[in-house]
Structure formats: C-alpha cells, structure tokens
Homo-oligomer: A and B are copies of this chain.
Amino acid sequence: MTHQTLTIGELSRRTNCKVQTIRWYEEVGLLPTSVRTSGGHRTYEQEHLERLEFIRHAREFGFPLDAVRSLLALANASGQRSCEAAHEIASEQLASVEAKLRRLEMLRAELAHMVETGCRGAPSDCRILATLADHDHGHCLSEGHGGVPETSLGNG
C-alpha cells in the first residue's frame, strides 16, 4: 500500500522516455488524461508506469502507434480473441520488417557495387556520378512502380 505517485520527471527517468514524449502520448490518447496537482503538475501511479513501459517496448519492436493502441486495448482485455488479434498485429509487423529488409538488402548491394567500383583513375569516368546520371539506369530499385522513390522506410 505504498501508494506513491510519480512526477512526470520520475516517470521519464524510469521509462527512459522523454518528458515531452510522455505529454505527447497523453495528447494522442495512449496515456489517460493525467491527474494534476493543485498547481497543475501531472501525477502518475504505478499503472501509468506499466502502461508506458508497454508502449515503449512495443515501440522498440517498431510497432506504429496505431498498432500500439490496439495492443494496449488487447492487453487490457485479455482472452483468446485478444491473443489471436495480438498475433495478427505482430505478424503484420514482422512482414513489414521483412519487406524493409529485402528492400534494404537490394539497396545495399547496389550501393556497395557503386562504391567498390569507385572511379577508375579518370575523373570523367567516376562510376558513382555516372551511375546517378545514367540515362538507361537499367535495374529497378523501386519496387512499387508507382512513380514514388519509396526508399523511405518509415518506422520499424
């Protein structure tokens, strides 16, 4: 029954999460509206600490915030269904990570080739600048074919 409350700073230290980020999580509804002191300072309980740790762990696994929101809901209403739903979200995240890996591996190979080839003595024959300028840039780096570079790997 040591019902101790935490300041935002303490919560920040314990979760390794910046103060601004905690406030932001509250703003976007990942953390409940915090109880305030008479002076307006936020106070937190053990349950908030646990919830924030959950969020941080999920973020470390690269789950986007929307997924974290769903996972939080599932964790609070545990049951067979929750378990299946969590499994599905995690599988999607795994698939997304694997897709990014494939993309990045292709990119790495291309870049490595470019860098290794380097410039062969003659400045006018710099493989790097030549590759970038190449009109007939044959091999296809962008998978989407939608016109967007999509090298962007977003989060996680």
Residues of A within 8 A of B (CB): 16-18, 50, 53-54, 56-62, 71, 74-75, 78-80, 82-84, 86-87, 89-91, 93-94, 97-98, 100-101, 104-105, 107-108, 110-112, 114-115, 118-119, 123-124, 126, 128-129, 131-135, 137, 141-142, 147-149, 151-156
Contact = CB atoms under 8 A, between A and B. Distances in A.
Contacts of A74: 129
Contacts of A94: 108, 111-112, 115
Contacts of A83: 118-119, 123, 126, 128-129
Contact of A104 (B50, B97, B118, B151): B97
A114 B133 contact: no
A150 B59 CA distance: 9
Contacts of A60: 141-142, 149, 151
Nearest to A145: B16
B90 A111 contact: yes
Nearest to A60: B141
A91 B110 CA distance: 12
B147 A155 contact: no
